[in-house]
Structure 1
Amino acid sequence: MITRDHAAFLAFARGVPADFGPATARAAFLVAPDGFRLAEQSAADNRYMGQTIAFDAARASSQHRELQRALAQVLPTLCFAGDPATPDAVFPNNVFATAAGRYLIGRMRHPVRQREADRADIRGFFGGVLDYAEIDLSTQEHPCELTGALVIDRARGLGFAGLSERCDEVGAKLMHDALGLRATLLFDLAPGEYHTNVVLAVLAGRAALICPGGFADAGVVAAIAELYAPHALQLAPGEHAAFAGNAIALSDEAVWMSARAAQSLTAASQAALAAAGFAVRAVELDAIEVGGGSLRCCVGEIF
């Protein structure tokens, strides 16, 4: 099923068992922020990006290294070298994604990001070292920025595709088919939002962080909240602005987000995460966040 009908999606998804696959990744990969700077093309439709003066490449590199060290305590975490010609490559989950036995290469909207799809080392790792089958969506014309645009409940095989300039309906269907998902809900993001994973996180298949202001249709918010009740947290505007929705579970017991995001959590949100069985793990990433994304954007998952 792939649909815009959130009521039909909810009716179907309620009956889906959590047997699609592992709820969390078995490893993670990052791309170092080498040459990290403002990418003007990306800034055209990413309101979260800072100004040129806010970019500090040395601080970004140091924080990124700390991120790798922190994640490596939980699961194997690889880091590929960055490239000054691709300043947004620090957010690799938009370009490369995996499922059991295969990897996807996304179609990026902006030419500066399309270059990332040509990286022979990352392709070689997935195709040559892991022997994953390749599904290359980068050469077709429809934008589909992978797990930036598509938030996935890996336990149940459900997708949540927010449509914007970074992902259209055809692109969403291509990702749905490539990942073999059971059902994908299509919806419009609110004006000014560019990626679904900034406004929605599904945590280990049993909880959701939702930023209501990021959705064009409140009915979609209600459907997602109902699906993940009682562990559906609707975040306040301040939490949304601090990237609290850009979080990820890499194990059953912890949710990872930036220090800024963690500091923004209200007492109610902290209590709700604890009730869902998640400890909050945070890493300082302010120098990365000026690039328009936060912790979840930095993490590519290997399933």
Structure 2
Amino acid sequence: MLTRDTHAFLAFARACGDDFGPATARAAFLVAPDGFALAEQSAQDNRYMAQAAAFDATRASMQHRDLHRAFSSVLPTVCFAGRADTPDALFPNNVFATAAGRYIVGRMRHAVRQREAAREDIRGFFAGVLDYAEIDLSTQEHPCELTGALVIDRARGLGFCGLSERCDEAGARLMHEAFGLRATLLFDLAPGEYHTNVVLAVLAGRAAIVCPRGFADSGVVEAIAALYSPHAVLCSEAEHRGFVGNAIALTPDTVWMSAAAARALQPASRERLRAAGFAVAAVELDAIEAAGGSLRCCVGEIF
């Protein structure tokens, strides 16, 4: 099912068991912020990006190493080198993603990010080392920025795809098929939002963090909240601005977010996560957040 009908999606999703696959990844991959700088093309439709003067490459590199160390304490985490001509490459989940036995290469909107899809070392890791089959969407014309645009409930095989200049309906269909999902809900992001994973996180298939202001249709927010009730965290505007929605569960018992997000997280939201079985772990990423993304954007999941 691929639909904009929230009622039909909710009815279908409620009937889906949590037997689609593992709820959390078996490993993770990162790309170092080598060449970290303002990407003028990406700034055209990413309102979260800071001005060029706010970019601190040294601090970003140090924080990224802290992130790598933190993730490595809970699951195997591989980090690829960055490149000077790909300043956004530290957000690899938009370009490369995995499902059981296969890896997917996305079609990026901006040329500066399309270069990332040509990385033979990353492709070689998935194809040659992990022996994953390739699904290459990077050469077709429809933008589909993978798990930036598409938030996935891996346990139930459900997708939540926000449409913007970074993903159109045809691109959403291609991703739905590539990941082999049972159902995907399509919806418009609010004006000024560029990626779904900044305003929505699904945590190990049993909880969700939702930033209502990031959705054009409040009915979509209500449907997602109903699906994950009573473990749906509806973020305030301050939590939204603090990147609380850009979080991820890499293990079944912990939700990871940036330190700025953890500071913005309200006590009631933290308690709702605790009730769902999640502790909150945080890493300081203020330098990286200048590039318009936060912790979730840095993480590629290996299933």
TM-score (ref. length: structure 2): 1.00
**One-letter amino acid of the structure 2 residue matched with residue 283 of structure 1:** V
> 1:192-271 alignment to 2 at 5 Å?
192-271=192-271
Cα displacement (A) at 1:184: 0.1
Cα displacement (A) at 1:53: 0.5
- What is the distance in 2 between the residues matched to 1:129 and 1:270? 39
Cα displacement (A) at 1:122: 0.1
Of all paired residues, the percent bearing the same amino acid is 78
**One-letter amino acid of the structure 1 residue matched with residue 245 of structure 2:** G
How many residues in Structure 1 have an aligned counterpart in Structure 2?
A: 303
- What is the distance in 1 between the residues matched to 2:130 and 2:251? 22
Cα displacement (A) at 1:73: 0.6
Aligned position for 2:122: 122
- What is the distance in 2 between the residues matched to 1:7 and 1:215? 17
Aligned position for 1:146: 146
Give SS of 1:223's match.
helix
Cα displacement (A) at 1:171: 0.2
**One-letter amino acid of the structure 1 residue matched with residue 170 of structure 2:** V
Give SS of 1:75's match.
coil
- What is the distance in 2 between the residues matched to 1:207 and 1:132? 29
Cα displacement (A) at 1:228: 0.3
Cα displacement (A) at 1:65: 0.2
**One-letter amino acid of the structure 2 residue matched with residue 231 of structure 1:** H
- What is the distance in 1 between the residues matched to 2:209 and 2:180? 24
Cα displacement (A) at 1:113: 0.1
1:177 aligned onto 2:152: no
TM-score (ref. length: structure 1): 1.00
Give SS of 1:21's match.
coil
Deviation per CA, 1:171-230: give whole Å up to 9, x if none.
000000011000000000000000000000000000000000000000000000000000
- What is the distance in 2 between the residues matched to 1:181 and 1:35? 35
1:298 aligned onto 2:298: yes
**One-letter amino acid of the structure 2 residue matched with residue 239 of structure 1:** E
- What is the distance in 1 between the residues matched to 2:296 and 2:84? 22
For structure 1, the 5+ residue unaligned runs are none
Cα displacement (A) at 1:104: 0.2
> 1:85-124 alignment to 2 at 5 Å?
85-124=85-124
- What is the distance in 2 between the residues matched to 1:200 and 1:5? 18
Cα displacement (A) at 1:2: 0.2
Cα displacement (A) at 1:72: 0.5
Aligned-pair RMSD on alpha carbons? 0.3
- What is the distance in 2 between the residues matched to 1:64 and 1:241? 21
Aligned position for 1:26: 26
Which runs of at least 4 in structure 1 moved beyond 6 Å after TM superposition? none
Aligned position for 1:133: 133
- What is the distance in 1 between the residues matched to 2:179 and 2:64? 29
- What is the distance in 1 between the residues matched to 2:136 and 2:183? 21
- What is the distance in 2 between the residues matched to 1:59 and 1:275? 35
1:38 aligned onto 2:25: no
Deviation per CA, 1:140-163: give whole Å up to 9, x if none.
000000000000000000000000
Aligned position for 1:281: 281
Give SS of 1:161's match.
strand
Cα displacement (A) at 1:239: 0.3
- What is the distance in 1 between the residues matched to 2:215 and 2:256? 23
